[in-house]
Every structure is written in C-alpha cells, then in structure tokens.
Amino acid sequence: LVRQPDALLVFVGGEAEPGFKAELEAEAGRLGVEKIVRWAGNVDASSEAGLKELIGWFDAFDVFCLPSSWEGPSQALLQALARGKPVVVARIPQLAGLVGEENGALVEFGSVKGLATALTELLADEPRRARAGKRNREIASCYGFDRLARELEEAYRQALG
C-alpha cells in the first residue's frame, strides 16, 4: 500500500462459501485496510444486466488476481484474459503454461509477500500491463467456444474413423 496508495482491492464473487466474506472482512480490519477493500458480491452473468455488470468489473480492473490453490483455468480467469487484463495466479499445475511473466505473474500459493510483490510490480508498470493484456487477448482467443467446438468435432471424427 505504501508503493500503491491509490490501490483498491475488489472482491467479486466468493459468497457461495459460508464465512468466506466475514473472514476476509475481519482480516482486512485487523490489517487496517478495510477502507481500500470493496465487496461486489456474486454477479449473475446469466442475464444481460448481470453480464454487463461483470464486464464492467473486469474493465475497471488494472490487474486480475486469483490466488486459488485449486482453480485451474476457471471461467473468471478466462474472462480476465479475454478482457485483456494481466493476471496474478498461484503457481499450480493446472495453470502451467497458461500464465507466466509475459502475461502476468505466478506466485507460490500462500505467499503473501509474493502476491503483494507481483501485484505491486504490475500496478506500477503500465507498459508491462499493456503488453500482458494484449498477450492475454491472444491466449483467450484459443479458448473461444467456436474453436473448442470445432476441435472437439474433429477429435470425434478422428476417433470414429
């Protein structure tokens, strides 16, 4: 926070897990950062209004962070890539090859210092964020529904001979 005094941490989602928000609110209070934390709650992207809200959140972010130890290329991560956001994620096998220095940062799961360093460095480096965002749009295009459907259809054709 010293190096990024204008930083704002926004949590979108996460309310499906009982006690998650309360635990994070208590931790923010204990650390004295509750004034820079916002809680957007869950966003239902199944409606047009919800989808617009979700896109609005992604577009407002300078960096997307998903330090989960179990979520691989989740829908949220793919949406962040598609919106051209640099990403900071935990170094887990499911994300090997998807995220690296060219499009964000990998941090060891549970490393608060590593997470803070990666976020601070990205927030301070607008040219790097722009390069990462451009790369992430390219990566996300590989995960488009039409392309995946074509590849699945081709795999079935090959399997059926």
Residue 46, pLDDT > 90, answer no
DSSP code of 107?
E
CB of 115 within 8 A of CB of 64? no
Q: Bridge-partner residues for 9, per DSSP?
A: 37
Query: What's the order of all strands across the beta sheet hosting 104-107?
Result: 64-66, 87-90, 104-107
Q: Is the pLDDT of residue 148 over 70?
A: no
Q: Look at residues 54, 45, 117 and name the one whose alpha carbon lies nearest to residue 85.
A: 54
- Residue 115: CA count within 13 A, CB half-sphere: 14
Could you tell me the two tokens for 35?
């004034």
Above 70 in pLDDT, residue 15?
yes
State yes or no: pLDDT of 53 exceeds 90. yes
Q: Give the pLDDT score at 6.
A: 87
3-state secondary structure of 137: helix
Residue 149: predicted pLDDT: 67
Mean pLDDT within 104-133: 95
Summarize the confidence of residues 133-158 as an average pLDDT.
81
State the Cα–Cα distance between residues 50 and 44, nearest whole angstrom. Answer: 5
What is the rounded average pLDDT of the residues 131-149?
Answer: 84
Residues recorded for the chain: 161
Structure tokens, 22 = 């309360």
3-state SS, residue 35:
helix
Q: What is the pLDDT of residue 89?
A: 95
